[in-house]
Amino acid sequence: MSWLRRRLTGLPEGFAGQLAANESVAASCTSGGEPVVATSLGLWLPGEERLGWHLVSKATWDGNALTVVAAATSGTAGTAVLLTDQPPRRYPLENPGKLPEAVQRRVTGSIVDRHRHELPGGGVWFIKRRVPGQDGTILQVRADAGVDPAAVAKLAAQVSARLH
């Protein structure tokens, strides 16, 4: 019956994740024989849990591989969520089909608004994003490497206070 599940859901063979009741498959393929699945709620990468679209800082497709930069939550400042980018991860895709386009559409579709503010040592991105499966938006703050975290937190708290 696994063939029937794959056919009905669009999941590739070997997918071991558990989709949420409201989660639908947009596209799928494999990387190194492991499933890569784009859904309404996020991106399932080989050997990992679902990465929500609001935590994909960047995803690029070079025609052979999908490179994903995930963000990790590093705290809050007011109602703003502070993010830190993780190292890029590269996934060579076998028969990518519509997966690269689905990823691009979902990542950009999660962004409502963005603004960059310069601080000593670099800049800070303020991004209003939709979180899949939730109502409303959240304010995310991602600073360039080398920017003082205390200055980022202070600015993020001020911006979030003005927005609420």
Q: Which domain holds residue 76?
A: 2-163
pLDDT tens, position by position, 104-144: 999 999 999 999 999 999 999 999 999 988 899 999 999 99
- Reported residue count of the chain is 164
Tens of pLDDT, residues 7-24: 445 788 899 999 999 999
Contact assessment for residue 68 and residue 48, using Cβ atoms and an 8 Å cutoff: no
Q: Give ∠ CA 106-107-110 in degrees, rounded to 5.
A: 85
List the alpha helices (DSSP H) in 86-148. Answer: 99-110
pLDDT tier, 81 (very low <50, low <70, confident <90, very high otherwise): very high
Q: Which has the closest alpha carbon to 14: 64, 70, 31, 61?
A: 31
Structural domains in the chain (count) = 1
What's 98's DSSP letter? Answer: T
For the chain, what is the mean pLDDT? 92
Question: What does the pLDDT average to over 78-106?
Answer: 96
How many whole angstroms separate alpha carbon 102 and alpha carbon 105?
5
